[in-house]
Amino acid sequence: MSKTNRGRFFEDYQLGEVLHHAVPRTVGEGERALYHALYPARHALYSADSFAQSCGLKSSPLDDMIAFHIVFGKTVPDVSLNAVANLGYAQGRWLTPVWPGDTLRAESEVIGLKQNSNGKTGVVWVRTTGLNQHNEKVLEYVRWVMVRKGDLDAAAPQTTVPDLPDALTVNQLKVPEGLIFSDYDFAQAGEPHRWGDYELGEKIDHVDGVTVEEAEHMIATRLWQNTAKVHFDTSARPDGSRLIYGGHVISMARALSFNGLANAQMIVGLNGGAHANPCLSGDTIRAWTEVLDKAETAAPGVGAIRLRLVATKGGAPFELRDEEGKYRPEVLLDLDYWALMPR
Amino acid sequence: MSKTNRGRFFEDYQLGEVLHHAVPRTVGEGERALYHALYPARHALYSADSFAQSCGLKSSPLDDMIAFHIVFGKTVPDVSLNAVANLGYAQGRWLTPVWPGDTLRAESEVIGLKQNSNGKTGVVWVRTTGLNQHNEKVLEYVRWVMVRKGDLDAAAPQTTVPDLPDALTVNQLKVPEGLIFSDYDFAQAGEPHRWGDYELGEKIDHVDGVTVEEAEHMIATRLWQNTAKVHFDTSARPDGSRLIYGGHVISMARALSFNGLANAQMIVGLNGGAHANPCLSGDTIRAWTEVLDKAETAAPGVGAIRLRLVATKGGAPFELRDEEGKYRPEVLLDLDYWALMPR
Amino acid sequence: MSKTNRGRFFEDYQLGEVLHHAVPRTVGEGERALYHALYPARHALYSADSFAQSCGLKSSPLDDMIAFHIVFGKTVPDVSLNAVANLGYAQGRWLTPVWPGDTLRAESEVIGLKQNSNGKTGVVWVRTTGLNQHNEKVLEYVRWVMVRKGDLDAAAPQTTVPDLPDALTVNQLKVPEGLIFSDYDFAQAGEPHRWGDYELGEKIDHVDGVTVEEAEHMIATRLWQNTAKVHFDTSARPDGSRLIYGGHVISMARALSFNGLANAQMIVGLNGGAHANPCLSGDTIRAWTEVLDKAETAAPGVGAIRLRLVATKGGAPFELRDEEGKYRPEVLLDLDYWALMPR
């Protein structure tokens, strides 16, 4: 009857089904400039062609999180329009840089289904892949969401929960073709700290804070063609607030982490992530990082570092959970990722 | 005496006069990205080069409304700086797509003049043409505005009211050269509904809403180099509010109409339009559409559809006028346009 | 110990030292579009390739203030992170236009040091140079800031105060290579007033006003990769307000000055400038100009004009100082610059 998309409900997903998400998107210099305008992004490899070329790349690629947001945005109408909660990420890998002029599209395979015991919702696991115009994989990641049932009488599917390791191993990480850090210019990058200077367990307070505004997060979220109502429409939530897209917090925290991690240039792996509490306009986002792991790679001068990036809207740095093991109320994000750094 | 532009008053217009509007503008990828950031625009032909190429175009053109806003903005200093009201549009035709790198300029011919009986204001009709760097017409439309007299003693001009048909006929519509919809990818476009699926009189509630902010509409309106004081300066209106440029509402409503009209790809005709009530920051814009007419075109697979697009800031969908025939107070926009759709 | 940059303190500067600022930046069409979205910029030479070409340039360069802001932003982490006040500018010269695709970097030489008598702060003078990927100088200027001492026991340096003339002479101004104004199109530029029409001492009220918003100035300031906390973090100042970057006010005032100075196309010299009072979100910025000097140049049809550009947040135009000679509280900016104009 209706011509509008009401979104999929839990019973609409089939195990093994592949969803071809709509509306491909060509990205370029405009998206790059807006990324720098929306986040205090300063990692040199994404700021200057000259720096990227000194690292063996043909020019400066678009920020890794642009690829993530665009691909994520494409999945929203098919995956999370009726989502109650975005439960987690795993096995995220950046596979090819995105260059200005590339056209991205996305598809998702349903790899897990589990109806909740209340019979009203279920959990859907999808493995999403972003592809460019050459059909090269740009990015892939697993995401799971809790989705409402549309028809409470629909039969529950057989429960299938995918086996998802806590983290990617270094062998699973893809170092971009040609990347070398042997002639890395630390002065132009902004900090002297190299891979060898970071110790397991080390914690870094990124010091800076940004108070966020409605106009900014809506501009960002639209740029990624993410259409979830809660980000835009004050009538979508009982309290009249607009929920800030979790990816906006990721990008803000990653950009703030420049101060202390200026040389953690490229994001290559997403081990996991939780949006611990909602972020709203007026919140001041800060970030801190804990070094979780380190590994060498085969690329000249390139080390991998596994980091926990925590975004907060208050409180002291390095505080994550309360005595019951729950995220403290001021924690916005707990993200576990792999980055590439000069050794 | 003064070096600043005080704008033209009613008595400054001559029938047949051609106004060459100032400040040509080169547009490109930056304007495209900003359009996607300011409006939830997802029509695939304006989002991806690959999709546009599958429709026979060389690449993705800039959104049709970018052309409209840029051309409109150029006319403001000469046409509507002293306007009391923007009364209507007619006979709008998009004639050539705008490609990244094009330079647009605008000129307007005065085609009608009528002093109001109060002797203080008059109505000016202009036919505005937007041209690119090859002197090709990109866009033309008729607009009429009510303008203050500067000198109340100036003689009234002979009344000339142009004859403006209610709508363009399908023969007047220009299908962009090379456009074909025979290999149209409905899955990538986002909806399965084709031209044949829409019925005359059918109404579509586009469901989504966007609450608008001061920063956004000012960023947009400046991008179009529209300088009307009421959009920017809280001291310009007695209530201290900034009036949102009517074109911002048009673009917002058009983008929201993706949900139900994802395949109404290109705008080719503007039959008429009214900005029924002012839109202010904090309003939540929603949209609904009524199918007014349909026609075939000579281009392979391309149908034309005439749509009434209504934007509101509240109320129920499909409510347009009160019992006296006036626009209901929550109606922002009533726009009548032709779009091209796969048959 | 800490991996984050705490910024330099007064005792960290050495006379003659050269600071190579981090994070080069490639700029392009995205930055251009954002500039037009953030400021009501309409000078034709920066708006259209066609207009720039009619003035002898290969295409439209990026706005002169984009070059200034990007270079300035690069200096912040090394020069003004612990600054108490931005005291002044002098001897600013634009030396080569910035074209889309250029990569900018910056360096600063310490040319003056003077510890204040309180022993807690000192003044640092730097000559900053912006360079492009060809190592051509794009811009240079002197700036002096008051900086806190980190260690109050550190010895005071020998006092060296550079000799800074009040203004550049016309011989010091660099007219961009190839620039001619002999075929200048005044109609397309937007105003008929040429260099010869402006008189020494003439004052122009630019009439228009723009009420500024938090989201806008933060988007702008991030775009320039300026990281000073006071612009972004409501907890950085006792009153919880975010101080608007002084350069935002410069660009806003310059753009507003189009109305009356549409033909003051290119900025080539910065003689001096003071940010007289803080600008905050909600302020309505207006501008007025006084003609200070005029000179001919060797380039065909190109005249130079020296202008005082004053931005205010209220009050009457042309009021600058109170009876004690202090800036009136509503004055935001007092800028003294040279521009190029058709003769």
Q: Which residues of B touch A244 (CB under 8 A)?
A: none
Task: Return the bridge partners of C148, or none.
Answer: C121
**Same topology between domain C1-27+62-164 and domain C167-343:** yes
A312 φψ region: left (φ > 0), alpha (ψ -120 to 50), beta (else): beta
Q: Which residues of B touch A24 (CB under 8 A)?
A: 44, 47-48, 50-51, 188
ipTM above threshold 0.90 = yes
Q: How confident is the model at residue B82 (pLDDT cuts 50, 70, 90)?
A: confident
Distances (CA, A) of C238 to B324, C230, C243, C313: 56, 10, 11, 22
Q: Which residues of B touch C34 (CB under 8 A)?
A: 30, 34
The domain B194-343 having CATH identifier 3.40.50.10800: the answer here is: no
What residue segments make up the domains of chain C, in order of their start?
Answer: 1-27+62-164, 167-343
Amino acid B276: pLDDT: 96
Amino acid B1: pLDDT: 52
Touching subunits for chain B (3+ Cβ pairs under 8 A): A, C
Amino acid A110: pLDDT: 98
Tell me the nearest-neighbour CA distance from B107 into chain A, angstroms.
29
Pick the CATH number of C1-27+62-164 from 3.40.50.2000, 3.30.1330.10, 3.40.50.12280, 3.10.129.10: 3.10.129.10
Mean pLDDT is lowest, of B264-278, C73-87, C248-262, for C73-87
CA dihedral of C229, C231, C235, C241, whole degrees rounded to 10? 160
Which residue in chain B is spatially nearest to C257 when comparing CA positions? B4
Residue C299, C-beta contacts closer than 8 angstroms, at least 6 positions apart: C175, C179, C180, C181, C340
Distance, in Å, from the CA atom of A33 to the CA atom of B258, rounded to the nearest integer, reads 26
CB B285 within 8 A of CB B315: no
Tell me the nearest-neighbour CA distance from C311 into chain B, angstroms.
15
Whether residue A23 and residue B38 make contact (CB cut-off 8 A), yes or no, is no
Whether residue C216 and residue B213 make contact (CB cut-off 8 A), yes or no, is no
* B139-159: pLDDT as tens digits: 999 999 999 999 999 999 999
Q: How many CB pairs under 8 A join B and C?
A: 129
**pLDDT at residue C142 tops 80:** yes
Helices marked H in chain B — which ranges?
A: 29-38, 49-54, 64-79, 186-189, 214-223, 246-256, 258-261
Which residue in chain B is spatially nearest to A234 when comparing CA positions? B211
Tell me the nearest-neighbour CA distance from B131 into chain A, angstroms.
24
Amino acid B6: pLDDT: 82
What percentage of chain B reaches a pLDDT higher than 90?
95
Task: Return the bridge partners of A270, or none.
Answer: A92, A337
User: Kind of pairing, strands A83-94 and A137-148?
Assistant: antiparallel
What percentage of chain C reaches a pLDDT higher than 90?
95
For chain C, the residues whose C-beta falls within 8 A of a C-beta of chain A are 2-5, 20, 22-26, 28-31, 33-34, 77, 100-101, 103, 105, 133, 213-216, 218-220, 222-223, 225, 227, 229, 232-236, 242
Identify the residue among C208, C221, C307 best suited for mutation to test binding to B, counting B beta carbons within 10 A and taking the highest: C208
Q: Which fold would CATH assign to domain A193-343?
A: Thiol Ester Dehydrase; Chain A (3.10.129)
DSSP track, B198-222? --TT-EEE----EE--HHHHHHHHH
Mean pLDDT to the nearest integer, B154-173: 97
Tell me the nearest-neighbour CA distance from B19 into chain A, angstroms.
33
Which residue in chain A is spatially nearest to C227 when comparing CA positions? A40
Which residue in chain C is spatially nearest to B5 when comparing CA positions? C259
Amino acid C1: pLDDT: 52
Q: Which residues of B touch A236 (CB under 8 A)?
A: 209
CATH for C167-343?
Answer: 3.10.129.10
Q: Looking at per-residue confidence, does C133 or C5 come out higher?
A: C133
Distance, in Å, from the CA atom of A171 to the CA atom of B119, rounded to the nearest integer, reads 82
Which of A113, A139, A136 has the alpha carbon at shortest distance from A126? A113
* B279-333: pLDDT as tens digits: 999 999 999 999 999 999 999 999 999 999 999 999 999 999 999 999 999 999 9
Which residue in chain B is spatially nearest to C38 when comparing CA positions? B219
Go through chain C and tell me how many residues it has: 343
Mean pLDDT to the nearest integer, C39-59: 98
Amino acid A84: pLDDT: 85
Distances (CA, A) of B142 to A309, B70, B160, C36: 56, 15, 14, 27
Q: Which regions of chain A are under pLDDT 70?
A: 1
Amino acid A326: pLDDT: 97
Tell me the nearest-neighbour CA distance from C299 into chain A, angstroms.
34
Whether residue B189 and residue A23 make contact (CB cut-off 8 A), yes or no, is yes
Distance, in Å, from the CA atom of C91 to the CA atom of C167, rounded to the nearest integer, reads 7
User: Kind of pairing, strands C210-211 and C121-131?
Assistant: unpaired
Which residue in chain C is spatially nearest to A187 when comparing CA positions? C22
* C266-295: pLDDT as tens digits: 999 999 999 999 999 999 999 999 999 999
What percentage of chain C reaches a pLDDT higher than 70?
100
Distance, in Å, from the CA atom of C74 to the CA atom of C68, rounded to the nearest integer, reads 10
Mean pLDDT to the nearest integer, C89-105: 98
* C168-196: pLDDT as tens digits: 999 999 999 999 999 999 999 999 999 99
Touching subunits for chain A (3+ Cβ pairs under 8 A): B, C
Q: Which residues of B touch C51 (CB under 8 A)?
A: 24
